[in-house]
Structure 1
Amino acid sequence: MYGNEGSSDKKSLKAAFDRTVYQVVGHGKRNVGVLQQAFSGIDGELDSDMYGMGPSLEAFEANMAGVLGKASAVFFPSGTMAQQIALRIWCDRKGTKRVAYHPLCHLEIHEEDGLKELHGIEPILLADKDRLIGLEDVQQLGEDVSCLLLELPQREIGGQLPPFEELVAISEFCREKDIKLHLDGARLFEVLPYYQKTAAEVCVLFDSVYISFYKGIGGIAGAILAGEPEFTKASKVWKRRHGGDLISLYPYYLSADYYYEQRVGKMDLYYRQAQELAEWYNRCHQMKTVPAVPVSNMFHVHADVPKERLEHSLVEVYRETGVGLTAVLKEKADGGCSFEVSLGDRYGEVPKDRMQLTFELLDQKLRGESL
């Protein structure tokens, strides 16, 4: 038995998850140790950057530009800032403040209408919210659209991806119509094993690219925005206007560099582990994954049981096995519930026999069988 019965708070899913010995998702706790580890080998005499300039920062930006196959790159403290600025630049360039993206795009549902309120940009929502944007959707765009944003993978629908051939066709269409194509590549490195492409081979299809350093990479914070020099030069002006030129950014980009080097080579492992874990879920009563076979290290799990029932079952399973699967459940309109899975370093630490026991117990509880 793992953990103790106690107050109602201690019986909550989050509290039960926090008490488990093995936690399946992510790289580990986001505490100050993440920064300490990243800085353990850095010379304390290394000069800081100042207001977005400095040799160490510029070297990191140049390296990431090369990885992405772009001529230039700029480090930003947040992806929210970077992407709003990218779209603003493309709108100003064309003289049309209209952009297109998915209904569940981060800019639409997580940024308090920043694109609209700060920049006066009107979004055109493409496709239904439960499916990917396809070439036919893009072909319906008028020429009064400045930019199309594509997210790879599309997080809010389970991390789904279009076929690479469709990306190529969309890119070619946009260039024919003078519509700039921007990549929300917050999780770009995580999809490369599925596409069997390098980052540069994907990014060549796009006019501008954003990547994150705290999601699959597991850094503190920060993002890169990459493109042609004229584009990145304009982005630096907007970064200053947004207050993004902190006096020093080194805690973010040095840790980003460290964890990039530590983890970018593990993305294929995380991808294969996600497929393995999805098989466990899909064999479990009243549960399924979206996609059925993951295309990156992330996917969603949907359960055809009420949130309260699944939460109760999970708390009991955590207590019996010491394995934590998720800390959060989301209610669905159909009466079921769902949660997101994103794998990193921790999955490999869970003993296989412990994982098997976890899913055997969960399956039994969902079937209403006695243990």
Structure 2
Amino acid sequence: MNKLLDAFKQTTFQVNGHGPRKIQVLKEAFENLDGQLESEMYGKGKLIEDFQEKMAFVLGKEAAVFFPSGTMAQQIAMRIWCDEKGLKKVAYHPLCHLEVHEEDGLRELHQIESVLLADKTRVIEFEDVAGMKEDAACVLLELPQREIGGQLPDYQTLEAISAYCKEKGIMLHLDGARLFEILPYYEKTAAEICSLFDSVYISFYKGIGGIAGAVLAGDSDFIEKSKIWKRRHGGDLISLYPYYLSADYYFEKRIGKMKQYYEHAKELAGFYNQCYGVTTKPEVPVSNMFHVHFDAPKEEMEQVLTEICVESGIGLSGHIREVTETNSYFEVSVGDLYEILPREKLMDAFKLLDEKMRTKFL
């Protein structure tokens, strides 16, 4: 039994995200659609092709294809680049999704080995790429780097890495699961950032808040090859319309709110950093996401956060993870819920957090 999660679900207001993943999310997306629209079949049809063309334009690429999952899309991207280069090695951050969350899929399914760049505590810098000790067919950059709080390299670093990879004949892939969330920080369009990369993956269920699904984009030859691999992976379901139609709906609903989410994240991080024994990583967020760290064990922080849920009616988080025996953290992703929070109640919740941290740990 998870007392914190149960208490969190009972709160009147929650701080993070767009709201719970209920069936209503799909019902809302389909509410005003013509029920006589004809779905695609096995990846072919006007609805999905129009959406793919739209996303290719947004990302500034020749073509794009919708995938049921980002895991599938990115493994396929790596396979294509490795096959083209005749080299079964790709380079990325030690905490890259492919390395820590996919049960060695890249290695087991495609016999591709990883070259790890930088260390776990920081983003990849130009020197890490230029100083690679092994050859790699492709370098993958995750923007932002989720597992270290959503940190980002500066834009000049991206430009330098891109130029270096072009010069050396190394393909450059963007794990842009949260691409749209970083546009306000860089003050660039999605197409401008994607122009630095040979291939790009984006997600539709993170900041966009759709049901599931992803898009892979690149030049036409790359995308045609990815469609073949998509079929091999079983990604061509007979119909994918619940996913891409809801993705399109929530893309249109939220793409214009990314700057708002970013500004709210910076404000929220400031509230956390004013509390005793609490810090955020990064201190000032560079997107709508960041990590909140506590100088306290996981079990004790679960109790503190549960008490705040019950006493204030505000849910700061339903989960917390252990860093060490004396430190813990949770992840924040700011979305639509933050703007409807009553400010007075939010301040009461942070006052409670500060008081409880001082009482228990000072």
After superposition, the C-alpha distances for 1:14-72 in whole angstroms (9 at most, x for unaligned) are: 11101000011110110111110000011011010000000010000000000000000
What SS is found at the alignment partner of 2:336? coil
Contact 2:295 2:326 in 1 (8 A): yes
1:181 partner letter: L
- The letter of the residue matching 1:325 is L
What is the rounded CA distance, in whole Å, between the counterparts of 1:29 and 1:129 in structure 2? 31
1:28 corresponding residue in structure 2: 19
1:345 equivalent in structure 2: 336
Q: Which residue of 2 aligns with 1:101?
A: 92
Report what 1:6 is aligned to: none
Pairing 1:315–2:345 present: no
Contact 2:115 2:134 in 1 (8 A): no
Within 5 Å, give how 1:182-221 maps onto structure 2: 182-221=173-212
Q: How many residue pairs end up in the alignment?
A: 360
AA aligned opposite 1:264: I
Q: How does 1:22-171 map to 2 (within 5 A)?
A: 22-141=13-132, 144-171=135-162
Identity of paired residues, percent? 63
How big is the shift at 1:333?
2.0
- Where 2:115 maps in the other structure, the secondary structure is strand
Deviation digits for residues 202-232 of structure 1, max 9, x if unmatched?
0000000000000110000000000000000
Spell out, residue by residue over 1:63-93, the C-alpha distance to the aligned partner (whole angstroms, 9 max, x if none).
Answer: 0000000000000000000000000000000
Name the aligned partner's letter for residue 188 of structure 2: K
CA contact (8 A) 1:143 1:179 kept: no
- Alignment CA distance shift 1:69-1:271 (3 Å): same
Show the counterpart of 1:3: none
Q: Are 1:324 and 2:309 an aligned pair? A: no
Contact 2:297 2:325 in 1 (8 A): no
* Alpha-carbon distance, 1:125 to partner: 0.5
Q: Is the 8 A contact 1:25 1:347 kept in 2?
A: yes
The 8 Å contact of residues 184 and 287 in structure 2, kept in 1 or not, is answered as yes
Q: Which residue of 2 aligns with 1:248?
A: 239
Deviation at 1:188, TM superposition (A): 0.1
Alpha-carbon offset, residue 332 of structure 1: 1.1
Tell me, in whole angstroms, the C-alpha distance in 2 between the residues paired with 1:223 and 1:96: 26
Partners of 1:157 and 1:148 in 2: how far apart?
Answer: 19
8 Å contact kept, 1:85–1:235: yes
Q: Does the C-alpha gap of structure 1 residues 341 and 27 become closer, same or farther in structure 2, counting only changes over 3 Å?
A: same
The answer to whether the 8 Å contact 2:298/2:327 transfers is yes
Runs of 4+ off more than 3 Å: none
Q: Displacement of 1:306 after TM fit?
A: 1.3
1:282 aligns with 2:281: no
1:151-176 alpha-carbon deviations (Å, 9 max, x no partner): 00000000000000100000000000
CA shift, 1:142, in A, is 5.5
How far apart are the structure 2 equivalents of 1:68 and 1:149? 17
What code does the residue aligned with 1:16 have? A
- The unaligned stretches of length 5 or more in structure 1 are 1-8
**TM superposition score normalised by structure 1:** 0.96
Task: Specify the code of the residue in structure 2 equivalent to 1:288.
Answer: T
Structure 2: which 5+ residue stretches go unaligned? none
Return the letter of the residue paired with 1:109.
V
Structure 2 Cα separation of the partners of residues 107 and 97 of structure 1: 15
Q: What is aligned with 2:169?
A: 178
Q: Separation in 2 of the partners of 1:181 and 1:150?
A: 8
The separation in 1 between residues aligned to 2:132 and 2:79, in whole angstroms, is 19
Read off the aligned partner of 2:222 and give its amino acid letter: F
